[in-house]
Chains A and B, each alone.
Chain A
Amino acid sequence: MKINGHMKAGIGREIVGDFELNFSVSKSRGYLIEIELKNLSDAPKFIKEIKIGEIDSNDKIFMNNFQSWGPCTFVNPYEVSMVLKSSNVPLNFGISPVLWEFKDGIVSDYFVATDHEFAGFLSSNISHPYFKWHDGNLDVKVYIGKTLSSHESVRIEKLWISEFDTIENALQDYALEVLKDHETRSHSPLFGWESWYSYYLDISQETFLKELESANLKYEVFQLDDGYEADIGDWLKTNSKFPDGLEFLARKIKEKGMKAGIWTAPFSVSESSDLFKEHPDYLVKDDEGNPIVAYENWRRKIYAIDLSNDEAIEWLKDLFLTLKSYGYEFFKIDFLFAGMVPGKRKSNLSPVESYTRGMKAIAEAVGDSHILGCGAPLLPSIGYVDSMRIGSDTSFEWNGTDTGAPSAKYSIRNALTRNFMNKWWVNDPDCVMARSQRTELSKNERMINLFVPALLNGQFIESDFLGELTNEDIHLLMSALNFRNGNSTVKFIDRERYVITTKNSKNGDVISFVNLSDSVWKADLSYQIGKKEEEFFISYPLMKSVDKNLEINPRSIEIVLHRGKRYLRRDDEKEDDGRDIHYYWGDDYDGVKI
Chain B
Amino acid sequence: MAETSITTGVMTMMELRYNPITDEWIIISSETQKRPVLPKKESCPLCPGVLEMKHDYDLTAFDNRYPSLKLDPPQIQKDDFFENAPSYGKCEVIMFTSDHNSSLSRMPFGQIEKLIYVWEDRTRDLMKYEKIKYIFPFENRGKEVGASQIHPHGQLYAFPFLPKRIQTKIDAIAKYKSKGECAICDVIKHETGENIVYDGESFVALVPYFARFPYEVHIYSRRHISFFTEMTSREKFDLAIALKVVTSKYDSLFDQEFPYMMEIFQGPVNPQMKDFHFHIEFNPPKRDKVNVKWMASVETGTWAFINPLTPSEAAKSLRNASYSI
Chain A interface (Cβ within 8 Å of chain B)?
Answer: 218, 470-472, 474-476, 478-479, 482, 505-508, 533-534, 536, 538, 540-541, 543-545, 561, 563-566, 568, 570, 575, 579-586, 588-589, 591-594
Contact = CB atoms under 8 A, between A and B. Distances in A.
A533 B65 contact: no
B2 to A, nearest CB: 23
A581 B325 contact: no
Contacts of A533: 233
Contacts of A584: 57-61, 114, 117-118, 121
Given A566-B117, A568-B121, A582-B61, A479 B325 contact: yes
Contacts of A507: 108-110, 325
Contacts, number: 121
Interface residues of B, number: 42
The 10 A-B pairs with the shortest beta carbon distances in the complex, nearest first, are: A506-B108, A579-B63, A581-B62, A478-B324, A482-B108, A475-B324, A472-B322, A479-B324, A508-B110, A565-B233
Given A579-B65, A580-B63, 12 more contacts: A479-B324, A505-B108, A536-B237, A563-B233, A566-B236, A568-B117, A583-B57, A583-B58, A583-B59, A583-B60, A586-B111, A591-B57
B101 interface: yes
B114 A534 contact: no
A544 B58 CA distance: 28
A586 B112 CA distance: 11
Contacts of B113: 508, 566
A476 B325 CA distance: 9
Contact of B53 (A540, A564, A566, A581): A581
A377 B13 CA distance: 73
Contact of B200 (A471, A541, A543, A594): A543
B55 interface: yes
Nearest to A590: B58
Nearest to B115: A584
A533 to B, nearest CB: 7
Given A581-B62, A588-B110, A482 B325 contact: yes
B55 A592 contact: yes
A315 to B, nearest CB: 43
Contact of A506 (B55, B61, B110, B200): B110
Contacts of A564: 233
A544 B60 CA distance: 31
Contacts of A575: 62-63
A594 B61 contact: no
B56 A591 contact: yes
A561 B233 CA distance: 13
B29 interface: no
B30 interface: no
A582 B55 contact: no
17 contacts: A471-B255, A471-B321, A472-B322, A474-B322, A482-B110, A506-B110, A507-B325, A534-B233, A544-B201, A568-B118, A583-B59, A584-B57, A584-B61, A585-B58, A586-B114, A589-B58, A591-B58
B34 interface: no
Nearest to B112: A507
A575 B63 CA distance: 9
A197 to B, nearest CB: 22
Which of B106, B109, B321 has the most A CB atoms < 10 Å from its CB?
Answer: B109
Nearest to B65: A579
A545 B59 CA distance: 28
B300 interface: no
Nearest to A559: B325
B62 A471 contact: no
Given A218-B101, A471-B252, A476 B110 contact: no
Contacts of A563: 233-234, 237
B226 to A, nearest CB: 20
Interface string B36-65: 000000000000100011011111111101
Nearest to B232: A534
Interface in B85-135: 98, 101, 106-111, 113-114, 117-118, 121
Nearest to A543: B241
B248 interface: yes
Interface string B221-247: 000000000001110110001000000
Which of B121, B236, B322 has the most A CB atoms < 10 Å from its CB?
Answer: B322
B323 interface: yes
Contacts of A534: 232-234
A585 B241 CA distance: 20
A411 B252 CA distance: 32
A570 B125 CA distance: 12
Contacts of B62: 575, 579-582
A512 to B, nearest CB: 14
Contacts of A591: 48, 56-58, 98
A320 to B, nearest CB: 33
Nearest to B113: A566
Contacts of B56: 591-594
B253 to A, nearest CB: 9
Contacts of B321: 471
